[in-house]
Amino acid sequence: MSDDLASRLREKGLRLTPQRELILRAVEELRHATPDEVLVHVRAQASSVNASTVYRTLEVLEELGLVRHTHLSDRAPTYHSTLEHEHVHVVCRRCHSVRSYDPDLVAPLVAALGEDGFSVDVGHLAVFGTCADCAASSSRSPGIRETGRRGQPT
């Protein structure tokens, strides 16, 4: 896995640096993290790593196919390791819970679009809506605006 990093970097004439190892490890450990969360996590272990390095590295790691991202909120994107099985994200706009589903969930969608020659990026998919709990108690999650300006998923 980290060896994977080394070899994949080499293949493209890129270099293995402590920062890149740390950032990849952070994404793997956090499982779902924004660039900023990655930064915080990395800084907790090693001393100084710069925000721009995190952005640049996440881009590289994504090109290498070691991490992926989705948009689970209106703010920062969320990165996760490709070591995890590919999954579809289902997000409740009310309580902001995120559940992961097997790609089977969207097999019919993938098939239907496939007939048009369109190939769906399943891992990137985020489905928004309202979860069971929140539908039940409409008084839940105090202070979260329905239409939501800046902040959580919209």
Partner DNA sequence: TTCAGTGCAAAGCGTTTGCAGGGTG
Partner DNA sequence: CACCCTGCAAACGCTTTGCACTGAA
Binding residues for DNA (CB under 7 A): 6, 9-10, 13-20, 34-36, 48-53, 55-57, 59-60, 75-77, 149-150
7-9-12-13 Cα dihedral, nearest 10 degrees: -100
DSSP notation for 38-54: HHHHHHHHSS---HHHH
Task: Kindly state the smallest distance separating residue 126's Cβ from its own copies, in Å.
Answer: 8
Our finding on whether 149 is near its own copies (CB under 8 A) is yes
* CB of 1 or CB of 112, closer to its own copies: 112
CA-wise closest residue to 126 among 152, 89, 101, 99 = 89
**Residue whose CB is less far from its own copies, 43 or 71:** 71
In terms of C-beta distances under 8 Å and separation of at least 24 residues, what long-range contacts does 111-118 make, across chains too?
none
Judged by CB, which is closer to its own copies: 14, or 105?
A: 105
Our CB check for DNA shows the closer of 7 and 137 to be: 7
Q: How far apart, in Å, are the Cα atoms of 61 and each of 69, 74, 97?
A: 11, 23, 26
Near its own copies in 102-141, by CB under 8 A: 105-106, 108-109, 112-113, 116-121, 124-125, 127-133, 135-136
Quick check: 150 and 75 in contact, CB under 8 A? yes
CB of 106 to DNA, least distance (A): 25
β-strand pairing of 67-70 with 78-81: antiparallel
Residues that bind its own copies (CB under 8 A): 59, 62-63, 69, 71, 74, 77, 90, 92-93, 105-106, 108-109, 112-113, 116-121, 124-125, 127-133, 135-136, 146-147, 149, 154
